[in-house]
């Protein structure tokens, strides 16, 4: 599909740096904007800084310099708790609480926001249907009673629970077998089109990046070396881009 031009900017990074003790920069001079409904895929090798970049957006990490704007406001002026509830967060496998049922896991943020319990219950059912799981079958199960693919669906449902405008996804499908992975990727793409949420999606899998991304941000050693549409990506004159494109054959 074609890249949509950024309409309303929901998330913006301005000259953001993140250095660890000793001065090594895990994220170096990064600036970009993401508009309403975009899916930006951060592609890069392990240790290229993509997860770090993601965690800067919901203030799990604080930038060393530069600023990050969410819904037009500098994240430093947000209350971090409110900011995180405004942003859905999906991580690989471990993200579900093992001692909560599917229902409590999905209803977590609404319950933190003190929604009335009938409203939470209705929302949980709606979301389970949305991610393709039958509510009656799954609502009372614990995460260990689910398959890997089902757990990731629940993870996506949980991130959507309080209807956040922005979603951050950190290799959400990384631990799945190839067949389940491919199914859930396609479903997830449909879901993204239907909901029109703004998303940042971290992966090291170029196929996944091409399938899902409206734009691809290529990360290398803490820098974003390219930010292009999937079509443009193949024409890039850059070693790292060619290395990734080579994996497509």
Partner 1 sequence: MKVLEFMWADRFEILQLSAEHIFLVFVSITIAVAIGVPVGILMTRKPRLGRPILAFANIVQTIPSLALFGFLIPLPYIGGIGTRTAIVALLLYSLLPIIRNTFTGISGVDPAVREAARGMGMTDTQILRQVEIPLSLGVIFAGIRVATVIAVGVATIAAAIGAGGLGMFIFRGTSMLDYRVILAGAIPAAFIALAADFGMSALERYFMRERRS
The string of DSSP codes covering the chain is -PPPPP-SEEEEEEEEEEE-TTS-EEEEEEEEEEETT-EEEEEE-TTSSHHHHHHHHTTSS--SEEEEEETTEEGGGS-HHHHHHHEEEEESSTTS-TTS-HHHHHTHHHHHTT--HHHHHHHHHHHHHHTT--HHHHTT--GGGS-HHHHHHHHHHHHHTT--SEEEEESTTTTS-HHHHHHHHHHHHHHHHHH--EEEEEES-HHHHHHH-SEEEEEETTEEEEEE-HHHHTT---HHHHHHHHTT-
**Per rule CB under 8 A, is residue 129 in the interface with partner 1?**
no
**Single residue of 112, 122, 134, 248 touching partner 1 by CB under 8 A:** 112
d(CA 29, CA 18): 9
> Would you say 92 or 214 has its CB closer to partner 1?
92
Q: How far is the CB of 149 from partner 1 (least distance, A)?
A: 19
**Single residue of 74, 76, 81, 242 touching partner 1 by CB under 8 A:** 81
**Per rule CB under 8 A, is residue 102 in the interface with partner 1?**
no
Site for partner 1 in 159-188 (CB under 8 A): 168
Q: How far is the CB of 205 from partner 1 (least distance, A)?
A: 20
**Cβ(15)–Cβ(71) below 8 Å:** no
> Would you say 18 or 244 has its CB closer to partner 1?
18
> Would you say 60 or 234 has its CB closer to partner 1?
60
Site for partner 1 in 20-59 (CB under 8 A): 58
**Per rule CB under 8 A, is residue 190 in the interface with partner 1?**
no
> Would you say 26 or 241 has its CB closer to partner 1?
26
**Single residue of 42, 69, 83, 216 touching partner 1 by CB under 8 A:** 83
**Single residue of 47, 97, 129, 248 touching partner 1 by CB under 8 A:** 97
Q: How far is the CB of 71 from partner 1 (least distance, A)?
A: 15
**Single residue of 14, 36, 130, 142 touching partner 1 by CB under 8 A:** 142
Binding region for partner 1 (CB under 8 A): 58, 60, 81-85, 89, 91, 94-99, 108-109, 112, 142-144, 158, 168
């Amino acid at each position: 599909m074609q890249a949509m031009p950024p309409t309303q900017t929901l998330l913006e990074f301005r000259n953001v740096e993140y250095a660890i003790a000793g001065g090594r920069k895990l994220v170096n001079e990064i600036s970009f904007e993401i508009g309403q409904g975009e899916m930006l895929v951060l592609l890069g090798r392990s240790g290229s800084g993509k997860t770090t970049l993601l965690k800067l957006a919901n203030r799990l990490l604080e930038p060393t310099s530069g600023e990050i704007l969410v819904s037009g406001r500098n994240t430093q002026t947000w209350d971090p708790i409110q900011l995180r509830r405004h942003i859905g967060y999906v991580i690989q496998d471990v993200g579900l609480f093992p001692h909560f049922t599917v229902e409590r896991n999905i209803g977590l943020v609404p319950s933190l926001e003190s929604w009335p319990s009938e409203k939470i219950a209705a929302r949980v059912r709606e979301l389970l249907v949305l991610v393709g799981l039958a509510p009656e079958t799954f609502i009372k199960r614990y995460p260990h009673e689910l398959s890997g693919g089902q757990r990731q669906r629940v993870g996506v449902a949980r991130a959507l629970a309080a209807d956040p405008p922005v979603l951050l996804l950190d290799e959400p499908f990384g631990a799945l077998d190839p067949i389940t992975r491919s199914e859930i990727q396609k479903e997830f793409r449909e879901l993204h089109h239907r909901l029109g949420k703004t998303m940042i999606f971290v992966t090291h899998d170029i196929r996944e990046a091409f399938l899902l991304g409206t734009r691809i941000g290529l990360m290398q050693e803490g820098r974003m070396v390219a930010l292009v549409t999937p079509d443009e990506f193949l024409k890039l004159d850059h070693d790292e881009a060619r290395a990734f494109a080579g994996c497509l054959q």
